[in-house]
Structure formats: structure tokens, C-alpha cells
Amino acid sequence: LQLSLENAAARKKPSIGQWMEFPGYTLAKTVASLGEDWVLVDCEHGNIDDRDMYLQVGAIASAGVSPIVRIPGSEPWMVKRALDCGAHGIMVPMCETKEQAEAIVRSCKYPSPKWPRGLRGAGAMFAPACFNQDGRQYLTHANDNVVVIVQIESRMAVENCEEIAKVDGIDMLFIGPNDLASSMGYFAFDHPKIPEVQEATQKVLDITKAAGKYAGHFALSAEAAALKYKQGFDFVNCGADIVALTAWMSAEMQKLREL
Ligand code: 3PY
């Protein structure tokens, strides 16, 4: 079991994912039973600590779905914890330069002939089970199997995205449209209707594809995700647990008030 974007492309179907902000094993297991290709555990903005990250990543993998972890920053120890618990992919917020992207790749790779400057320590005790592998198989294949995703979500990142996309070991550039709009001086939630944000989004998509890398985008509904897939993105979530819960509960209460 591992996230295979190539398979998704060959099936001519986008890879479909969900996004988790809440903590907990049972919730992760429930969310991961809905037929996704991947579920993202958001340790940047979610209420998810190190212990819950371990539980949720294990729950998602045991449901046959690829767990992706968004870490809070880009410190090597954050990368280490997320990969050691068994994430199939890691998402790092706010990558703005080629140097930052190179440092992230070093943190993700075990030292090897291809990655002599890899920094990852060899003690992943729990990750092999999340790949249905033993420890030796995991250590042998992790450098190739783990998907390394950096977020492009500032004006500076857009300016530098060609250099970032070319960094060996970066597999995907993922646009955070809310932060991108904020960094350009707009209200974050207005991003779909801001021409400057949309031009930057198209530029990042074109450059990412030209570099032979995958492109991802954040979305919170099927309609928004479909627009991004049609535009050419490979990897888009179509919701988030807290958004689903609050929208459903408030709609039901509203209905009840009107009955
Ligand atoms: C953004 O929209 O800025 C994101 O990073 C998604 O959470």
C-alpha cells in the first residue's frame, strides 16, 4: 500500500482526498472508510498533537488509504516524527525558496548513494506497518516511496516556484490559496475571484507540470475540487472534517427552526 499518483493518472481519475483537523483514532478510521485515495492529517492548523498524529496515521493506513501529514513548519524533527509514524506523504507549509526546498528534501531522505546529504535517522519503528512492509523493506524503499509535497502560498514562493519545482526530490507543489491571497494583500476567502491569485495559480501549475512534478490545490467542496482537476491539478481535497460537521449541523438546525 502506498499513494500512487501514477496509478491515479493511469486510471484517468484524479486522486481524491479528505482533510482532517480533528484528533482521534476512531474519527480517522471513519473518515478513511469513505473511499478516498488519501487523507491528510493537518498538524499545522488542526487540533492534532504528536500522539494523535501517530494514532490517525495508523488508522488511515489500516483502512487501506494513504495518510499524508501536514507538519506545522519545516524543522527536521517535525519531518522525522511525521515520517516515522508512517506517513505516505509529507506536506510542508510555506516553502518560499529553492534552499528551503532542498533542506526539506534532505530531512525526508535516508543517507544513500543517491542522497548522500540525507538527514533522516534510521529508527522508524512504526512506519513499516503503514506500508505493509517489514523494517528492512521500509528502509530500502522509503526514499522512493514517500511523497514530498511543498506548499506554494506566498508571493515570494510564486516568484521562486520554477527553482523550487526543479529541486530533485520535491514531488509536488501544492497551492494554499487562502494564504496566497493573504500574502498578496487580499482577504483570504476571496481567492477564487481574485484575478491576481488565479494568474499566479495558473503560473505555478504550468511551471510544475513543465518540471514533470505533480500539482496540488486546496478545496473544500466537490465543485471547487472539480474546477481544479479540470484546470490540470493532480491532487485536491474535496472537504475537511470540521467544515463538514459545522455545515451539516447548522443546516439541520436551520431546517428544524423552519419546520
Ligand atoms: C491555504 O489555503 O492557505 C492552505 O494552506 C490550505 O489549508
Tell me how far apart the alpha carbons of residues 181 and 165 are, in angstroms, rounded to a whole number: 21
pLDDT of 2 reads 54
Please tell me whether the interface predicted TM-score (ipTM) of this complex is above 0.90.
yes
- Domain map (residue ranges) of the chain: 5-258
% of the chain residues with pLDDT over 70: 95
For residues 35 and 180, the model is more confident at 180
Q: Convert the pLDDT of each residue in 218-259 to its tens digit.
A: 999 999 999 999 999 999 999 999 999 999 999 999 999 999
Residue to mutate, 45, 198, 218, ligand 1, most ligand atoms under 8 Å from C-beta: 218
Residue 9 has pLDDT above 60, yes or no: no
Residue 8 has pLDDT above 70, yes or no: no
For residues 143 and 12, the model is more confident at 143
Residue 12 has pLDDT above 70, yes or no: no
Tell me how far apart the alpha carbons of residues 39 and 65 are, in angstroms, rounded to a whole number: 7
Q: How many whole angstroms from 119 Cα to the centroid of ligand 1?
A: 28
Q: How many whole angstroms from 93 Cα to the centroid of ligand 1?
A: 9
Q: How many whole angstroms from 141 Cα to the centroid of ligand 1?
A: 30
Closest ligand 1 atom to 19 CA: 7
pLDDT of 96 reads 98
Reported as a pLDDT band with limits 50, 70 and 90, residue 155 is very high
Q: What angle do CA 56, 59, 63 make, to 5 degrees?
A: 140
pLDDT of 223 reads 95
How many CA atoms within 13 Å lie on the side-chain side of 135?
5
Helix or strand holding residue 253 (H, E): helix 241-258
Reported as a pLDDT band with limits 50, 70 and 90, residue 3 is low
Reported as a pLDDT band with limits 50, 70 and 90, residue 16 is confident
Mean pLDDT of 95-120: 97
Helices (H) and strands (E) in the chain, counts: 13, 8
Residue 48 has pLDDT above 50, yes or no: yes
pLDDT of 1 reads 47
Nearest to 37 by CA among 259, 206, 193, 234: 234
Residue type at position 150? V
Q: Which residues form ligand 1's pocket by a CB distance below 6 Å?
A: 151, 153, 176-179, 218
Is 238:37 a contact under the CB 8 Å cutoff?
Answer: no
pTM greater than the 0.90 cutoff? yes
168 secondary structure, DSSP code:
T
Is 3:88 a contact under the CB 8 Å cutoff?
Answer: yes
Closest ligand 1 atom to 44 CA: 7
Tell me how far apart the alpha carbons of residues 244 and 165 are, in angstroms, rounded to a whole number: 33
Task: Provide the annotated active-site residues.
Answer: 45
Q: How many whole angstroms from 123 Cα to the centroid of ligand 1?
A: 31
Mean pLDDT of 170-191: 97
Residue to mutate, 91, 95, 150, 153, ligand 1, most ligand atoms under 8 Å from C-beta: 153
Tell me the average pLDDT of the chain.
94
Residue 147's contacts (CB-CB under 8 Å, 6 or more residues apart) are 3, 5, 68, 88, 89, 90, 171, 172, 214
Closest ligand 1 atom to 180 CA: 3
CATH code for the domain defined by 5-258:
3.20.20.60
114 secondary structure, DSSP code:
S
